[in-house]
Chains A and B, each alone.
Chain A
Amino acid sequence: MQKLLLLGDEAIAQGALDGGISGIYAYPGTPSTEITEYVQASKFAKENNIHSQWSVNEKTAMESGLGMSYAGKRAMVSMKHVGLNVAADAFVNSSITGVNGGLIVVAADDPSMHSSQNEQDSRFYGNFAMIPILEPVNQQEAYEMAYYGFELSEKFKLPVMLRITTRLAHSRAGVQTLEQKPQNDNSFPSDLRQFVLLPAIARKNYKSLLANQAGIEEASEKSKFNTYIDGSNKSLGIITTGIAFNYLMENFQDKELNHPVLKIGQYPIPRKQVMKMVNECDKILVLEEGAPIVEEMLKGYQKAGTPVIGRLDGTLPRDGELNPNLVAKALGLETVLDSTIPEIVKNRPPSMCVGCGHIDAYEALNIAVADYGKGRVFSDIGCYTLGALPPYNAINSCVDMGASITMAKGAADAGMVAAVAIIGDSTFTHSGITGLIDCVTENSPVTIIISDNFTTGMTGGQDSKALGKIEDICKGVGVDPDHIKVFRPLKKNMDEMVQIMKDELAYKGVSVIIPRRQCVQTMKNKKLAEQLIQLNLK
């Protein structure tokens, strides 16, 4: 047991290691990436054979975690909020199968979209799956929730969601660790048909899940993560979830807070404590990071008709992260709200790195596609999404992992030829291959550029499952080898690159173009350097 200075993400990883996990499964995604990276770097994990290799996507991660749970061991699955959309099929059904070994699914939400395409709230998924949700107030609780979450999961035989947001994920503070627990032994589920979701079994399991709800609600009532702090001023009761509690307390560092406060960290929301507040207070303010989930729930929850204020009535903004100033305003306290900065300060959006291969690919593409006119390049999730910005202005879509290929296909089906997709190597293996099979099946006239930099770049250079396999995958699913073209994206090769792109844009079938050059951010990665030499890619 020791005191460590940890990011929220790292605290979760340490909590899982101390809580006895046998494996973590994940695909990199901001702000969740550092959880898995911490386990990968852990000497303890290596010595104890704890699985930590990246999965090809969040769905395969979720399923592998469920498989480890089936075998009796404790597993953690971690992803960013939109990753849960990818894993949703497995995730929602995992509440129907239930678990054997403890299973924690970490969903890291990104309100204010610091590095994401939306700010969806993962608690919706947790509620939908009817499983317990844990939402820490700080790094210490993040650690403890990961540590205790496995017991909660094993007690109710259900997966448990651990929900965090960017601020906690990427903020550092001191964490006191607890005693190391051993890993579980292997064991089969007590009923060998528990995981067989044939309708007859699923109906039975679903009834058990429904019957389980009273128990998990009672667990919330008793949870140490839910605290009712009484106060004499009942004109307003305040409910906080997760880190919103900190923004409240920030405003009462030098003055007394005399309103009752219900601090929620475990769901389903503790009904008795909520009702106490509803019955005793004239009005309720809900402070929660993300969507107004508790706020909406409260409106239908109580017969008393106590007014509820928060994100829905404009007391707080409907979108974006909370902060101490917004909470102060909601409480009617004096605060600074003027965020104007000197006019001279210009925006500095992120940009592709100097020397990045994606830049050369885009420069060639812009020339090659000019004959057909603007508006026909479908892109994907990764550093190359920054090709949307000046000076490139090269792409027209970025929706979800893998959507470039299938959107190009749909556009081509609609008669928009040429149609171009541009996708990175890691995103291609994450969710691009299935779409490519659709294209091959119909010999759709699409030009697919797989910009291969041997890594998952945007999240910091994690391993790419596509390394050394892209041509074989494309041939394997039926792309004509004559229309798989590889080149090295460099300024000096511009004429060759443009010519290849022009030829393939004119081809009325599926072509795959692979601009291939190592990500400049990974040049110091020795393991990758060795792999590239072995694969003859250097």
Chain B
Amino acid sequence: MKTDIILAGVGGQGILSIAATIGMAALHKNLYLKQAEVHGMSQRGGAVQSNMRISDKEIASDLIPMGAADIILSVEPMESLRYLPYLKKDGWLVTNTTPFINITNYPEIEEVLAEVKKQKNYVALDADKIASEIGSKRSSNIVMLGAATPFFDISFESFEEGIRKIFARKGEDIINMNLQALRAGREFTEKNR
């Protein structure tokens, strides 16, 4: 069993908390894990990504080879397209549809989404909207993670366990809200994949 994931977004959008939750889920299952992140200059509002690899065997490279990722999980639609060369032919593109516009030449969002829809396997959801409906826009990250969970070789319960551990210090309300967000994301994918 091996899952290679590219996490994508813009510096400050918090893709590292998604990575931490996946990491917890993997640890819960005693799996091998490598996760390469971007620190430093790009964190200031630039394009950021994290290479996350989970396997039941020892992992060689910290970087996912091009053409080898099982999942691109992006919290921003244009950023989801930046890493397409890394996606396997039958891999899944899972992206938020709410754009993060901090550049003047950001393309028309319809054009970006049209490009997303050209992919063979994709799930596109408005995670910000779903998160707001649940109660906090800040959990849109976890909605996105939930939407990607069907493509992992890790049980949904392990992700729930990951959420409980990551948010343990923040109290029961925050844990429940994030669990709800995780479930809402998964539900979307199950209905729309």
How close is B86's CB to chain A, nearest CB, in angstroms?
A: 9
- Assess whether A459 is interfacial by the CB under 8 Å rule: yes
Contact, CB under 8 Å: B37 / A172: yes
- Assess whether B27 is interfacial by the CB under 8 Å rule: yes
A317 to B73, CA, bound (A): 30
Task: With A31-B40, A172-B37 as known contacts, state yes or no: A167 contacts B47, CB within 8 Å.
Answer: no
Interface string of B35-70 (1 = CB under 8 A from A): 111111111111100010000000111110111100
Task: Mark the stretch among A53-61, A243-251, A498-506 that contacts chain B.
Answer: A243-251
- Assess whether B157 is interfacial by the CB under 8 Å rule: no
- Assess whether B106 is interfacial by the CB under 8 Å rule: yes
How close is B7's CB to chain A, nearest CB, in angstroms?
A: 13
Task: With A247-B63, A352-B44, A460-B39 as known contacts, state yes or no: A346 contacts B33, CB within 8 Å.
Answer: no
Contact, CB under 8 Å: B85 / A170: no
- Assess whether A410 is interfacial by the CB under 8 Å rule: no
Contact, CB under 8 Å: B107 / A346: yes
Contact, CB under 8 Å: B34 / A325: no
Contact, CB under 8 Å: B11 / A250: no
- Assess whether B192 is interfacial by the CB under 8 Å rule: no
How close is B64's CB to chain A, nearest CB, in angstroms?
A: 8
Picked from B32, B44, B62, B105, the residue with its CB within 8 Å of the CB of A383 is B44
Q: Which residue of B lies closest to A383 (CB)?
A: B44
- Assess whether B23 is interfacial by the CB under 8 Å rule: yes
Interface residues of B in 86-127 (CB under 8 A from A): 102-107, 111-112, 115
Task: With A114-B38, A172-B35 as known contacts, state yes or no: A348 contacts B81, CB within 8 Å.
Answer: no
Which residues on the A side are within 8 Å of B103 (C-beta)? Answer: 346-348
Task: With A34-B39, A114-B38, A173-B33 as known contacts, state yes or no: A337 contacts B66, CB within 8 Å.
Answer: yes
Q: Which residue of B lies closest to A249 (CB)?
A: B60
How close is B35's CB to chain A, nearest CB, in angstroms?
A: 4
Which residues on the B side are within 8 Å of A323 (C-beta)? Answer: 61, 63, 65-66
Which residues on the A side are within 8 Å of B10 (C-beta)? Answer: 348
How close is B55's CB to chain A, nearest CB, in angstroms?
A: 10
How close is A362's CB to chain B, nearest CB, in angstroms?
A: 15
Task: With A168-B62, A339-B66, A346-B106 as known contacts, state yes or no: A30 contacts B78, CB within 8 Å.
Answer: no
A114 to B37, CA, bound (A): 11
Task: With A115-B39, A344-B107 as known contacts, state yes or no: A246 contacts B81, CB within 8 Å.
Answer: no
A371 to B171, CA, bound (A): 58
A349 to B82, CA, bound (A): 13
Contact, CB under 8 Å: A171 / B84: no
Contact, CB under 8 Å: B60 / A172: no
- Assess whether A534 is interfacial by the CB under 8 Å rule: no
How close is A167's CB to chain B, nearest CB, in angstroms?
A: 5
- Assess whether A351 is interfacial by the CB under 8 Å rule: yes
A336 to B85, CA, bound (A): 8
Interface string of A372-395 (1 = CB under 8 A from B): 000000000001001000110000
Size of A's binding interface in residues, CB under 8 A: 51
How close is B100's CB to chain A, nearest CB, in angstroms?
A: 9
Q: Which residue of B lies closest to A386 (CB)?
A: B44
Contact, CB under 8 Å: A167 / B62: yes
Contact, CB under 8 Å: A344 / B78: yes
A323 to B38, CA, bound (A): 16
A171 to B62, CA, bound (A): 7
- Assess whether A341 is interfacial by the CB under 8 Å rule: yes
A503 to B19, CA, bound (A): 51
Q: Which residue of A lies closest to B107 (CB)?
A: A344
A114 to B62, CA, bound (A): 16
Contact, CB under 8 Å: B47 / A325: no
Interface string of A1-32 (1 = CB under 8 A from B): 00001010000000000000000000000110
- Assess whether A328 is interfacial by the CB under 8 Å rule: yes
A383 to B41, CA, bound (A): 8
Picked from A34, A171, A458, the residue with its CB within 8 Å of the CB of B41 is A458
Picked from A173, A344, A349, the residue with its CB within 8 Å of the CB of B34 is A173
Picked from B62, B65, B115, the residue with its CB within 8 Å of the CB of A342 is B115
Q: Which residue of B lies closest to A8 (CB)?
A: B62
- Assess whether A253 is interfacial by the CB under 8 Å rule: yes
How close is B58's CB to chain A, nearest CB, in angstroms?
A: 9
Which residues on the A side are within 8 Å of B60 (C-beta)? Answer: 246-250, 253
Which residues on the A side are within 8 Å of B42 (C-beta)? Answer: 114-115, 350
- Assess whether A223 is interfacial by the CB under 8 Å rule: no
Which residues on the A side are within 8 Å of B104 (C-beta)? Answer: 390-391
A115 to B46, CA, bound (A): 12
Picked from A30, A336, A348, the residue with its CB within 8 Å of the CB of B65 is A336
Task: With A170-B36, A171-B36 as known contacts, state yes or no: A346 contacts B78, CB within 8 Å.
Answer: yes
Which residues on the A side are within 8 Å of B112 (C-beta)? Answer: 344
- Assess whether A353 is interfacial by the CB under 8 Å rule: yes
Task: With A249-B61, A350-B11 as known contacts, state yes or no: A170 contacts B66, CB within 8 Å.
Answer: no
Q: Which residue of A lies closest to B105 (CB)?
A: A346
Contact, CB under 8 Å: A324 / B65: yes
Picked from B59, B65, B67, B85, the residue with its CB within 8 Å of the CB of A341 is B85
Which residues on the A side are within 8 Å of B47 (C-beta)? Answer: 347-348
Which residues on the B side are within 8 Å of A348 (C-beta)? Answer: 10, 45-47, 78-79, 102-103
How close is B161's CB to chain A, nearest CB, in angstroms?
A: 15
How close is B144's CB to chain A, nearest CB, in angstroms?
A: 18
Contact, CB under 8 Å: B36 / A344: no
Q: Which residue of A lies closest to B55 (CB)?
A: A253
A246 to B68, CA, bound (A): 15
Contact, CB under 8 Å: B66 / A325: yes
Task: With A114-B38, A114-B41, A243-B62 as known contacts, state yes or no: A172 contacts B81, CB within 8 Å.
Answer: no
For the complex with contacts A243-B61, A339-B85, A341-B81, 6 further pairs of A-B residues with Cβ separation under 8 Å are: A7-B37, A114-B41, A172-B23, A174-B33, A243-B62, A336-B85
A-B contact pairs, 13 of them (CB 8 A): A114-B41, A167-B62, A171-B36, A173-B33, A243-B62, A246-B61, A325-B66, A339-B66, A344-B81, A351-B44, A351-B102, A391-B104, A458-B41
